[in-house]
Amino acid sequence: MKKNNKKITKVVSSSLALTLLLAGCATNQSKKTGDITKPSVEFKTLVQNDGNSVSDSHLKVGILSADPLTGMFNPIFFLQATDYYIMRDTMLYTFALDKDYRLKQDDDNAPAKFHLDKEKKELMEEIKLLGYESLRFSIFNDHRPGEWETRIEYNPELELYEVYSTMDRASAGSIFKFKTFEEAKEKFIHNLKLTVFINKTSVENGEVPEYSSPLWDKIDD
């Protein structure tokens, strides 16, 4: 009977020692947790605009991660969790998607409506390639009509592209309408080339050009 009591005493003592050891570890862990300092930079987690639409602004998304962005913003084929976080906050539930998971532009029913100026960029690249930056032109009504301009616009009511040139006092000449952007682009570039030809010819004949441009101005030696 005494031997059994000794065994029980040893078991109790071992259990008590283990309990005290675990309690000590928990205390040390608590102390370490309490010593964690606050980050030097704190990010706002909420920006409220009272439900009013915001135009001509930028959506800034900050993500703290050791993984770099791969740019694979596809809900199926994304590679990094960081890319998914970007999509989750800016694409998956913010902008409208079609059945092929492509972003839909100018969707009035989407939480956030966006428009990509792909066509304007294409026109500007063509203008720079031709060296026509000094000409007077307007792309998609980026400013009010002026004198002697070549303009391309989009009429949402007719769903047609319109190309025309202005004269003195910003009066409009013949307006050409097109169903596709490619047709309108071709006419727009043609009018720009025609502007260069007409004014070069005027200068060569001693006449006054529509306006000054290094493309036809005479340079005195």
Tell me, yes or no, whether 130 and 71 share the same domain: no
Tell me, yes or no, whether 167 and 96 share the same domain: no
Tell me, yes or no, whether 140 and 164 share the same domain: yes
Q: Is 127 part of any domain? A: yes
Helix ranges (H only) for 35-107 are 81-87
One pLDDT digit (tens) per residue for the chain, 221 residues: 545 554 444 444 555 454 544 455 545 554 455 556 666 666 565 666 666 766 777 766 667 777 777 777 776 777 777 777 777 766 666 777 777 766 676 777 777 766 667 888 899 999 999 999 999 999 987 788 889 999 999 887 888 899 999 988 888 878 999 999 999 999 999 999 999 999 999 999 999 999 999 999 975 54
Domain extent for 99: 61-112
Tell me, yes or no, whether 131 and 87 share the same domain: no
Q: Is 46 part of any domain? A: no
Tell me, yes or no, whether 72 and 127 share the same domain: no
Tell me, yes or no, whether 132 and 191 share the same domain: yes
Q: Is 55 part of any domain? A: no
Domain count, the chain: 2
Segment 12-60, tens digit of pLDDT: 455 545 454 445 554 555 445 555 666 666 656 566 666 676 677 776 6
Q: Is 82 part of any domain? A: yes
**How remote is the C-alpha of 176 from its chain's centroid?**
32
Whole-number Å distance between alpha carbons of 87 and 109: 19
Q: Is 28 part of any domain? A: no
Overall pTM surpassing 0.75 (yes/no): no
Under 8 Å between Cβ of 108 and 169: no
